[in-house]
């Protein structure tokens, strides 16, 4: 484990620095996305069939974008790039291939599958990458600062922003109130975190699996939060639609466990009651629920506009992951030979 002179892992500090850089990078990347989208041929976004391709956080961002488009009547699917079969290329299709590095083999292959027939739009931080070279157009995922930790926080938010802006450009009715307001809202969340972060981590630091629950139309955000817990502090974490969890996910929640609930589902009340009936506890993020054990508030702008919430709420999972990681490493350092 690489550590700095204070004994705290370098990668953890890099992760925290990435989180704190979120508002500034988001402001810059919104401008970059706006310019790139403005340069796309007018007919590209009018194509009736959208296919997203990605892996990991890239696909998580695409899941929610595809759901929003389908709800508005558009033929849209987020496909796992490593799956054994993809949608066929067609001239009425916009293929949005997403890879921060631009070198993810499965995504590059999926883009090549569509090349020459569908319009291929690459989302990547690397304009010199194979994905960018094979795309008809590229949206940049980095405006100023790439992630220092290698954990997809800034790049996930940039992907969510890019997809939201693409959807809003195609259908202004889905543009919301304007996602530029996400920048100060994200800054406010980070500034106010001391009011809830320690208490939330106290509840979540059980040594057990954390069930991350939310509304199915926002399952990508739920998946991203669970990923942050797995990738940073190496905690077992699973992502569930809250309603579906009541049918198939509750079996591994035991007395003393704490679930992380991103509120807003019609199943919130029953989910909290079920967790309490199993002697578990609930940390609720977003709109307050009177029965939750702890409430993590979001800024008003994020509660008023789903597009803004999608850019702000993931920082909660990142902050929780970073603090849980810090606590875990503190234990390791105390217990290591020669540690204090």
Angle, CA 245 vertex, CA 218 and CA 222 arms, to 5°: 30
For the chain, count helices (H), then strands (E): 14, 10
**Tokens 């399952």 correspond to what residue?**
219
CA distance 330 to 12: 12
Apex 72 CA angle, 66 and 76, nearest 5: 30
Instruction: Look at residue 9 in the predicted model and tell me its pLDDT.
Output: 56
Is 52 strand, coil or helix? Answer: strand
Place of tokens 């919430």: 309
Question: Which pLDDT score, from 0 to 100, does residue 1 have?
Answer: 36
Give the pLDDT confidence score for residue 178 in this predicted structure. 86
- HEC per residue, 233-291: CCCCEEEEEHHHHHHHCHHHCCCCCEEEEECCCCCHHHHHHHHHHCCCEEEEECCCCCC
Q: What is the pLDDT of residue 70?
A: 97
Burial of 5 (0-12, 13-18, 19+ CB in 10 A): exposed
According to DSSP, residue 181 is labeled G
Q: What is the pTM (predicted TM-score) of this model?
A: 0.93
Q: Which stretch of DSSP H or E encloses residue 24?
A: helix 22-38
Task: Please list the residues that pair with 212 across neighbouring strands.
Answer: 239, 260
Q: Answer whether 263's CB lies under 8 Å from 287's CB.
A: yes
Domains and CATH numbers, the chain: 10-175 (3.40.50.10490), 184-331 (3.40.50.10490)
What mean pLDDT value characterizes the chain? 93
Residue 141's nearest CA partner among 100, 113, 178 is 100
The CA distance from 129 to 103, in Å, is: 6
**pLDDT tens digits for 198-207?**
999 999 999 9
Residues lower than pLDDT 50 in the chain = 1-8, 332-340
């Amino acid at each position: 484990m690489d550590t700095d002179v204070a004994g705290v892992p370098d990668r953890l500090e890099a992760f925290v620095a990435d989180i704190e850089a979120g508002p500034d990078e988001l402001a810059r990347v919104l401008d970059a996305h706006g310019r790139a989208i403005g340069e796309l041929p007018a007919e590209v976004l009018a194509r009736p069939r959208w296919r997203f391709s990605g892996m990991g956080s890239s696909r998580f961002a695409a899941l929610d974008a595809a759901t929003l488009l389908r709800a508005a009547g558009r033929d849209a699917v987020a496909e796992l790039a490593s799956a054994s079969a993809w949608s066929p290329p067609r001239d009425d299709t916009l293929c949005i291939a997403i890879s921060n590095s631009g070198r993810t083999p499965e995504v590059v292959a999926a883009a090549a599958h569509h090349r020459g027939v569908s319009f291929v739009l690459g989302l990547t931080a690397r304009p010199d990458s194979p994905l960018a070279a094979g795309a008809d157009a590229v949206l940049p995922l980095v405006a100023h600062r790439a992630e220092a930790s290698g954990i997809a926080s800034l790049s996930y938010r940039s992907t969510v922003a890019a997809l939201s802006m693409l959807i809003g450009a195609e259908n202004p009715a889905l543009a919301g109130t304007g996602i530029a307001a996400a920048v100060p809202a994200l800054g406010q969340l980070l500034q106010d975190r001391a009011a809830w972060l320690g208490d939330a981590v106290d509840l979540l630091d059980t040594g057990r699996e954390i069930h991350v629950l939310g509304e199915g139309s926002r399952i990508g955000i739920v998946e991203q939060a669970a990923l942050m817990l797995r990738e940073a502090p190496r905690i077992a974490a699973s992502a569930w639609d809250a309603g579906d969890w009541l049918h198939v996910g509750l079996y591994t929640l035991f007395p003393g466990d704490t679930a992380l609930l991103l509120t807003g589902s019609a199943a919130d009340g029953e989910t909290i009651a079920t967790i309490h009936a199993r002697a578990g506890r609930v940390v609720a993020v977003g709109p307050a629920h009177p029965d939750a054990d702890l409430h993590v508030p979001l800024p008003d702008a994020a509660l008023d506009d789903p597009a803004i919430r999608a850019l702000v709420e993931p920082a909660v999972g990142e902050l929780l992951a970073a603090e849980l990681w810090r606590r875990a490493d503190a234990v390791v350092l105390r217990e290591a030979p020669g540690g204090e």
